[in-house]
A and B are shown apart, each in its own frame.
Chain A
Amino acid sequence: EPEVTQTPSHQVTQMGQEVILRCVPISNHLYFYWYRQILGQKVEFLVSFYNNEISEKSEIFDDQFSVERPDGSNFTLKIRSTKLEDSAMYFCASSRSGAGGFGSTEAFFGQGTRLTVV
């Protein structure tokens, strides 16, 4: 069964450093997402990406964050200058279609990257 894969599974970085979290979505999916889960808290939406551009982002997704689909398979989240409060589990997800008239399909999530900022 196809799945979303994320690397690395765990990353430790020093405050102020840049990190790139990597994801390989399911191959025939068109919508890509990043979510995060701070320890013990709920899963929060960061950004959605479709047709090579951001389609929606939350207030969490400020100028320190960026996403990119550098080739046909990878989808990355970059945090330019990490802060302690960026420590969280980051989940990548993908879906074949989105909401809004095309029928809705579920998003499939990767296993997450645990980011620890020290």
Chain B
Amino acid sequence: AQSVAQPEDQVNVAEGNPLTVKCTYSVSGNPYLFWYVQYPNRGLQFLLKYITGDNLVKGSYGFEAEFNKSQTSFHLKKPSALVSDSALYFCAVRDMNTGFQKLVFGTGTRLLVSP
């Protein structure tokens, strides 16, 4: 079965510092991996995805993520955090070998960027 783990409920970082939000996954086949962000009272906004190819994926708003197959991880990163990045971040996985469409989400990590 597919699963995603986000080990941190909250990540605190000062504005201008680099940030990392962690995600590990488990699938039986090859993964499609996604990061979504949720601002208060808003829906889920797509940030970036990994399907195949280059392990470093660049996405919206300066975010990037690194796919590491040996560690089954897909950590979200940004070189310099902004206060406006404060939000709830969800990692999600889809098993491309099953043909199933559903995304399995992690529990979410709240990112708090302080001025």
Are the CB atoms of B43 and A33 closer together than 8 Å? no
Question: How many angstroms between the C-alpha atoms of A101 and B105 in the bound complex?
Answer: 22
B55 within 8 Å of A (CB atoms) = no
A2 within 8 Å of B (CB atoms) = no
A112 neighbours in B (Cβ, 8 Å) = 42-43
Are the CB atoms of A99 and B100 closer together than 8 Å? yes
- With contacts A109-B36, A112-B43 taken as known, whether A56 is within 8 angstroms of B102 at the C-beta atoms is yes
Question: Out of B43, B95, B98, which one reaches A91, CB within 8 Å?
Answer: B43
A68 within 8 Å of B (CB atoms) = no
Question: Out of A6, A50, A56, A100, which one reaches B96, CB within 8 Å?
Answer: A100
- With contacts A50-B101, A91-B43, A109-B36 taken as known, whether A42 is within 8 angstroms of B96 at the C-beta atoms is no
Question: Out of B44, B45, B101, which one reaches A48, CB within 8 Å?
Answer: B101
Interface residues of A in 37-89 (CB under 8 A from B): 41-45, 48, 50, 55-56, 58
Q: How far is the CB of B9 from chain A (nearest CB, A)?
A: 11
A95 neighbours in B (Cβ, 8 Å) = 101
- Interface of B toward A, CB cutoff 8 Å: 32, 34, 36, 42-46, 49, 51, 90, 92, 94-96, 98-108
Given A41-B107, A58-B102, output 4 extra A-B contacts at Cβ < 8 Å.
Answer: A35-B103, A43-B108, A45-B103, A50-B101
A-B contact pairs, 12 of them (CB 8 A): A42-B90, A42-B106, A42-B107, A42-B108, A45-B104, A93-B44, A98-B99, A100-B100, A104-B32, A106-B46, A109-B45, A110-B43
